[in-house]
Amino acid sequence: MPSKKSPFRFGEKLRSVREKKGLTLKVVANSAGVSESLVSQIERNRVSPAIDTLLSLAEVLDIDLEYLFDEYRRERPVRIIKNGHGRKLEEAGIKYTEVLRPQEGDGKHALEAYFVNIPSGKSTTRGSFGHTGREMGVIISGSAVLMHEGNEYELDTGDSVSFSAASPHTLTNKGAEEMIALWICIPPGKFS
């Protein structure tokens, strides 16, 4: 049966340390309580060692585990858009200000978020025919009417709404003052 090649690459590090210390495969294997063949396969990245075997080898070779795993440490970036630095868009008098930008690699978790400022009497148009995904919004100030599948939903300051974007939908400011909302869309579409 062919051996499955390990996706983890500890072997080169283990071999390098063993050779620098002038230790043979046999000495390391005996000290770790495993076969010489297994140590050889691990060093050639032919097999992925069980964690207890890896810990034993690290102890015998006096290797810091952080050294073995440093290439597997992942940076999980924090994304910040400073106030006033988000991209801006205007469509038919309605202003959109980006607060979250999707990044390459977000995959199925990609989303975008923006503030939408709708002057009195104006309506959004992008969703008039529907599109893929889901939307969620929170009215920060003012009031609006969401039209979704021919139904009207009145939204006031502090109200939130979520819906399938596949159905036709529009958001209209029927109040006397500007309406401001925070809007989140999956997948991204407004600034893409």
The token duo for 53 is 């075997």
Beta strands in 101-188 (DSSP E): 112-118, 134-141, 143-148, 151-156, 160-164, 169-172, 179-186
Tens-place pLDDT, residues 99-138:
988 876 677 778 899 999 999 999 998 777 778 889 999 9
The residue that leads in pLDDT, 81 or 172, is 172
Tens-place pLDDT, residues 50-81:
889 999 999 999 998 888 877 766 666 778 88
| Region of residue 55 (left: phi > 0; alpha: psi -120 to 50; beta: else) | alpha
| Per-residue confidence (pLDDT) for residue 3, from 0 to 100 | 46
pTM of the model: 0.61
